[in-house]
Amino acid sequence: MHYQLIHQLPGRLRLRIPALNQPDYPAGALELWMEACPAVRSVRANPRARALILEYAGGPRARAAALAHLRAYPVDALPGLGLGFDPPSADTIPMVRGLLTMLAMPLLPPPLRALVTLLNIGPTLLQGIDTLVKRGVKMEVLDAVAVGLAATGGQHQTANITDFLLKLGEFLEHRTQRQSDRLLRQLLRPPPALAWVERAGELVQISADQVQPGETVAIGVGEAIPVDGWVLSGTALVNQASVTGENVPVRKEAPARVIAGSTLSEGRLRVEAARVGAETTQARVASFIQQALDQRSATQCLSERLADQRVILTLGTGALVYALTRDLRRLQAVFLVDYSCALKLGTPVAFKAALSKAAQHGVLIKGGEAIEQLAEVDTLVFDKTGTLTESALEVTETLVFDRQCDCTEVDLLALVASVEEHASHPLAQAVVAAAREQDLPHISHGEIDYLVAHGLSADIKGGRIVVGSRHYLEEHVGIDFKPHERRINRLLDEGKTLLYVANAQGPVGLIALRDRPRADAADVMARLRALGIQRLIMLTGDRRHKAEALAADLGLDEVHAELEPEAKAGLIEQLRAAGHRVAFVGDGINDGPALAAAHVGIAMPRGTDIARATADILLLEDQLAAIASARELTTGTMALIRGNFNIAVGVNTALLIGAVFGRISPIMSALLHNGTTIGVLLKALRGPRMQALAAPAGGERQPGHRHPDRPRHHRTGTWQ
């Protein structure tokens, strides 16, 4: 990138970039690229002046880093950056021209005043004519008529002041729009161009999109992390603000998770790539937000339609006032009452602020329509496994039936774990994890015989042990567990999954396991009720007794168990037919139909590609509390939009009445309506007040939890 230094102050640079004033040059993409530099605090491109203004934090090293980042700007990659929005730039030249004109008016002779005024207000008049020809009667037309009437009537200073106030309002509106988009653009920063990868024992620098899952990436100070992955070695402070919104760098060391788009502030890391290219968190956030910006909500469409209707109201009122009073001053004041800006701009700014706030805290919402829908939901339906429960089972108790076998509960758990370590199903993993936590010894055994989906057996201490389902042990091995029916039924009624153990003499015992309910599940259910959710329902394909036990613990209203995937969607349709506004939370392939059938589909982070593609809301981190936070954010956003609408309509209606009765001058009308618009936009940009959202994405993993993308490392002979 070619540039020339024009001016510099401590912490601030003004650079000339000749390419900026070329037609269709994406100035927003350049701003976006520079914002990705950790040393840059703010950036603004001025295509008209071919200038780029940079503010940086730090001394000479930060200045050098900012300029080096600018020189590395990938001009050839511009078409692939995927930037779907770039609001109008806030141009100060019209305001400066208007201010100088107002100051010069008293010094000019009358004929020259008319000429200078015409030159000053000419762009406003031309914009009004262009709008009338291309789009019909809009607010720009009324502004042009009001300013033109003042100039035609010889009120040159009034015309210039009014035009200046209109330009000032337009400048502030564009600045506010750009600020709302800047919040989102921070989530759409382009991925780093290069990555250092270990191949054949050497570090090789390649394009970031060529990194393969499982490869080891080396990242140094000041470098951006190009992949989602897990730390293999090293210690570093990582700045995740561009992805998660965290202002304080986070300490990372093995086996912590790192997120693409983060930057190393200190230290050095070797990272095992889990997700690369379009599959990284950063790329998925960018894709999700881009889809959200392309969708127009019903509220936004309604706001624009009502704004256009108010223009007709203003035009009709002005015509009536002039017909009755023949007072051009009143007509100008009426025409300068502007409903449209506050109504049209306030809603999209509020939606963008909500999307950004949610995304920075690990909740991706697919547009304004999803915000509207979730705010109206009265029924929340959950899938059970992986949603209300953790994905992993836990051992709750071990029972020994025959004490004559000289086997305690601890011995039985150690014995079964020693055999089950060779299986990969969830029950086996839970048993091995329980033995490891208790530091139980590994028991030697012979060769394992494994029957898929039934059980396994092995020679141990001169005998043979068989572990598996009751059906397998009774039907295939001939072991009768009916004498222990009462104890078995008690555990089943408690929602436990049972692993049966026997030997040649008969039943030995069993191990009871259970889905571990999320620690915060009950609190989240209570919070959802406080946020207006009337019905909480669980759907699952699991056994009824297990589902009912969990539902009772969480205080759910309904539970539907042993369902096929199509049946889940059918129940959602029934709820909708009964008049309920329904959201469904799930994560699996079999949840796809239900996610599509609900008014709002919410996918958990471990969800399949189908679940994520079908969902309207996607959680980046495995936290149930994020659902309640998303509900609070959406209801708050809709309340904010309604409040802003009432403010805009109320204040502008009062101004219109004052203008009709001659109580408000054209200048005061322009000043007050622009002030109202700016106030509404700033209120929308701030967003709703609410409790803290779920913990930001990208934090440390909980002990004992294995992320689904993390490779499992097998050990043989011992599991301690």
For residue 241, what is the domain's CATH number?
A: 2.70.150.10
CA-wise closest residue to 495 among 559, 586, 588, 433: 559
- In the DSSP assignment, the letter for residue 309 is H
Classify 235 as helix, strand or coil. Answer: strand
User: Quick check: is 385 in a domain?
Assistant: no
Q: Whole-prediction pTM value?
A: 0.61
Separation of first and last alpha carbons in the chain: 57
For 446, other C-beta atoms within 10 Å of its C-beta total: 12
509/398 same-domain check: yes
Here the tokens at position 206 are 């390649």
Distance CA 421, CA 208 (A): 38
If asked whether residues 252 and 157 sit together in one domain, one would say no
Residues 432 and 511 in one domain: yes
Contact 230, 256 (CB under 8 A): yes
- Examine the domain organization and report whether 175 and 298 are in the same domain: yes
The arrangement of strands across the sheet holding 4-9 comes to 4-9, 12-16, 51-56, 40-46
Query: Which among 352, 380, 202, 206 is positioned nearest to 292, based on CA atoms?
Result: 352
Q: Tell me whether residue 541 is in a domain.
A: no
CB of 133 within 8 A of CB of 125? Answer: no
Residue 602 lies in a domain: no
DSSP letter assigned to residue 59? S
Residue 502: strand pairing partners? 466, 507
Alpha helices (runs of H) in 468-543, residue ranges in sequence order: 470-471, 485-493, 521-530
Could you give the CA distance from residue 21 to residue 630 in angstroms, rounded to a whole number? 42
Q: Does 303 share its domain with 327? A: yes
Q: What is the pLDDT of residue 94?
A: 80
Q: Output the domain CATH number for residue 447.
A: 3.40.1110.10
SS3 345: helix
The b/e string for 287-305 (b: 16+ C-beta within 10 A; e otherwise) is ebbbebbeeebebbeebbe
The per-residue pLDDT for 558 is 92
User: How many CA atoms within 13 Å lie on the side-chain side of 661?
Assistant: 6
CA–CA distances in Å: residue 618 to residues 368, 590, 605, 639: 14, 17, 7, 23
Q: Are residues 331 and 245 in the same domain?
A: no
What is the Cα gyration radius of the chain?
33
Residue 60's alpha-carbon distances to 39, 40, 327, 572, in angstroms, are: 11, 13, 63, 61
Answer yes or no: are the C-beta atoms of 700 and 365 closer than 8 Å. Answer: no
- How far apart, in Å, are the Cα atoms of 205 and each of 219, 599, 674? 11, 47, 53
Token duo for residue 616: 């309207």
* pLDDT at res. 551: 87
Predicted confidence (pLDDT) per residue in 140-174, tens digit: 887 788 788 878 877 888 888 888 877 877 776 66
Distance CA 258, CA 281 (A): 10
Question: Which residues are the active-site residues?
Answer: 383
**CATH code of the domain in which 20 resides:** 3.30.70
Predicted local distance difference test score (pLDDT) of residue 323: 87
DSSP code of residue 590: G
Please report, as a single letter, which amino acid is at residue 469. S
Distance of alpha carbon 189 from alpha carbon 420, whole angstroms: 47
Cα–Cα distance for residue pair 685/222, rounded to 1 Å: 31
Residue 699 inside a domain? The answer is: no
Instruction: Give the tokens for residue 475.
Output: 């039907």
Domain count, the chain: 4
Q: At what angle do helices 625-660 and 666-686 cross, to 10 degrees?
A: 180
Of 473, 488, 516, which residue constitutes the final position of a domain?
A: 516
Dihedral Cα 448, 451, 455, 461, nearest 10 deg: -20
| Residue type at position 629 | S
**Half-sphere exposure of 414 toward its Cβ, with a 13 Å CA cutoff?**
15
Under-50 pLDDT residues of the chain: 77-88, 191, 245, 247, 694-720
> Which amino acid makes up residue 319?
A
Q: How far is CA 226 from CA 186, 194, 203, 264, 605, in A?
A: 16, 8, 15, 11, 20
Q: Which residue range(s) make up the domain with 46?
A: 4-80
Looking at residue 302, what is its pLDDT?
64
Q: Determine the residue type at 180.
A: S
266 and 308 inside one domain: no
Q: Do 235 and 337 reside in the same domain of the chain?
A: no
For residue 377, tell me if it sits in a domain.
Answer: no
Neighbours of 461 (CB within 10 A): 12
Please tell me whether residue 157 adopts helix, strand or coil conformation. helix
Residue at which a domain ends, from 498, 516, 534 = 516
For residue 197, the model assigns a pLDDT of: 93
Token digits of residue 68: 């080096």
Task: Give the Cα-Cα-Cα angle 355, 360, 365 (nearest 5 degrees).
Answer: 35
Is there a domain that residue 371 lies in? no
CB 616 within 8 A of CB 635: no
Handedness of CA 206, 208, 214, 216 (dihedral sign): positive
Beta bridge partners of 216: 198, 272
Q: Of 409, 399, 419, which Cα lies nearest the Cα of 463?
A: 419
Q: Which two tokens stand for residue 231?
A: 């730390």
Tokens 């004052």, located at residue: 658
State whether 176 and 255 are in the same domain.
no
Q: In Å, how far from its chain's centre is CA 386? A: 20
Do 40 and 34 touch, CB atoms closer than 8 A? yes
How far apart CA 86 and CA 694 sit, in angstroms, is 30
Residue 301 and residue 171 share a domain: yes
pLDDT of the residue at 677: 80
Count, residues in the chain: 720
Amino acid at 712: R
Quick one: 199 and 179 in the same domain? no
Residue 597 lies in a domain: no
**CA–CA gap between residue 600 and residue 615 (Å, rounded):** 7
Q: Using CB atoms within 10 Å of the CB of residue 257, give its burial: 0 to 12 exposed, 13 to 18 middle, 19+ buried.
A: buried
| Six token digits for residue 441 | 């010894």
Angle at 495 between CA 491 and CA 497, to 5 degrees: 75
Closest CA to 34 of 60, 9, 19, 13: 13
Beta strands in 558-653 (DSSP E): 558-560, 582-586, 600-603, 617-619
Domain boundary among 59, 80, 101: 80
CB atoms within 10 A of CB 577: 8
Distance (Å) of CA 456 to CA 331, 425, 488, 504: 90, 12, 21, 14
The CA distance from 670 to 687, in Å, is: 26
213 and 337 in a common domain: no
Residue 661 included in any domain = yes
* Number of other CB atoms surrounding residue 370 within 10 Å: 26
